[in-house]
């Protein structure tokens, strides 16, 4: 693995409190910069077994790896299909949205690649963005067109909508909803009864909540939260998200990371100063890793994240 200069450092963490209950979540006063040097970093995922963090540097078409014991950063894979979001399955295998490759893939333990989804109804997907597993091993992913050169108007776009999909354990790809114009990050509540989906539009910077039915399909949606009051040009839109064990939603959006109560009440923001793409829990479960523009950040909290399937 080629080792890159980490360019690490620290800066004051800016916790913008909007509710007294935010004090129970606020952690370190320092925001640690693990690495700087990407063009747009995304999709962080932490491996408890290996004690390392992976993330995408989309425009540079590479996946990077930070090793916790040494602090070194290196290239994990390049080219990488312009990967965006990552997760791991119940066997600890990396599962990735190939933003440029227009498919969802799994990296087997021997390094080979298995395609999990690349088409719906015979048509190529737009550009899979983010993904999450449910408790039964079904995979949910979003499919906006941001990986296409012309995005929404790209001539190569084969689907006339942007969908949220489910890949069952039998491999069947099912469309769950196409009501969001720009579906992006997604996360389940700790009981897996609700699915949150971000809409990454500056005109409608919202998160929707969908009840999850027994068969894995989705019921009628409701608006969970709306960040319109915070939106400023160049300040970021709703993107990736994760949930902690108490149901708090840590959602990237205008200003950095917005932290919501399970009922949608905004507790506060972790201000990064740059457009912020995604977050991941790691280390002892209280560490929040943040991919923010061209840098990767680390911050201690006073809460515990919901572990990925292989970490349970």
List the domain boundaries for the chain.
3-311
Interatomic CA distance for residues 216 and 209, integer angstroms: 14
What's the pLDDT at 11?
A: 63
pLDDT in tens, 218-277: 999 999 999 999 998 878 999 999 999 999 999 999 999 999 999 999 999 999 989 999
**3-class DSSP assignment, residue 131:** strand
What are the E-state strand segments in 28-182?
30-36, 41-47, 52-57, 62-67, 73-77, 83-88, 94-98, 103-107, 113-117, 119-120, 123-124, 131-133, 139-143, 163-167, 173-177
Interatomic CA distance for residues 181 and 199, integer angstroms: 7
What's the pLDDT at 158?
A: 98
What's the pLDDT at 234?
A: 77
What's the pLDDT at 39?
A: 96
Q: If pLDDT is split at 50, 70 and 90, which confidence band does 312 have?
A: very low
Q: Which range, of 37-41, 148-152, 231-235, 262-266, averages the lowest pLDDT?
A: 231-235
Average pLDDT, the chain: 94
Region for residue 130 given its phi and psi (left: phi exceeds 0; alpha: psi -120 to 50; beta: otherwise):
beta
Interatomic CA distance for residues 259 and 251, integer angstroms: 6
pLDDT in tens, 74-118: 999 999 999 999 999 999 999 999 999 999 999 999 999 999 999
What's the pLDDT at 9?
A: 61
Six token digits for residue 261: 């109560």
pLDDT in tens, 112-130: 999 999 999 999 999 999 9
What's the pLDDT at 29?
A: 73
Instruction: Please check whether the domain covering 3-311 is classified as CATH 3.90.1150.10.
Output: no
Interatomic CA distance for residues 100 and 78, integer angstroms: 13
Region for residue 193 given its phi and psi (left: phi exceeds 0; alpha: psi -120 to 50; beta: otherwise):
alpha
Q: If pLDDT is split at 50, 70 and 90, which confidence band does 142 have?
A: very high
pLDDT in tens, 156-204: 999 999 999 999 999 999 999 999 999 999 999 999 999 999 999 999 9
Q: If pLDDT is split at 50, 70 and 90, which confidence band does 279 have?
A: very high
The mean pLDDT of 298-307, rounded to a whole number, is 93
What's the pLDDT at 30?
A: 74
Q: Which residues pair with 47 in a beta bridge?
A: 52
């Amino acid at each position: 693995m080629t080792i890159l200069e980490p360019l690490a450092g620290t800066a004051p963490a800016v916790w913008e409190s909007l509710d007294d209950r935010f004090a129970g979540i606020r952690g370190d006063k320092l925001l640690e910069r693990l690495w700087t040097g990407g063009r747009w970093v995304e999709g962080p995922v932490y491996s408890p077994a290996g004690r390392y963090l992976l993330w995408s540097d989309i425009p540079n078409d590479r996946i990077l790896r930070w090793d916790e014991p040494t602090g070194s950063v290196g290239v994990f894979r390049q080219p990488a299909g312009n990967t965006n979001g990552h997760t791991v399955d119940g066997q600890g295998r990396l599962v990735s949205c190939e933003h440029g490759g227009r498919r969802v893939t799994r990296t087997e333990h021997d390094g080979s690649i298995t395609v999990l989804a690349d088409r719906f109804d015979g048509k190529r997907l737009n550009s899979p963005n983010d993904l999450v597993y449910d408790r039964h091993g079904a995979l949910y992913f979003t499919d906006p067109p941001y990986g296409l050169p012309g995005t929404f108007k790209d001539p190569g776009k084969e689907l006339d909508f942007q969908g949220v999909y489910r890949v069952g354990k039998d491999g069947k790809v099912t469309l769950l909803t196409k009501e969001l114009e720009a579906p992006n990050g997604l996360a389940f509540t700790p009981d897996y009864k609700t699915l949150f989906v971000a809409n990454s539009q500056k005109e409608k910077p919202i998160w929707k909540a969908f009840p999850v039915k027994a068969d894995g399909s989705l019921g009628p949606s409701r608006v969970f939260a709306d960040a319109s009051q915070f939106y400023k040009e160049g300040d970021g839109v709703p993107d990736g998200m994760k949930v902690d064990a108490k149901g708090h939603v840590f959602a990237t959006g205008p200003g950095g990371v917005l932290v919501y109560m399970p009922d949608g009440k905004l507790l506060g923001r972790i201000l990064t100063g740059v457009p912020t793409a995604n977050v991941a829990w790691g280390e002892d479960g209280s560490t929040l890793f943040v991919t923010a523009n061209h840098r990767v950040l680390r911050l201690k909290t006073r809460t515990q994240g919901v572990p990925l399937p292989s970490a349970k």
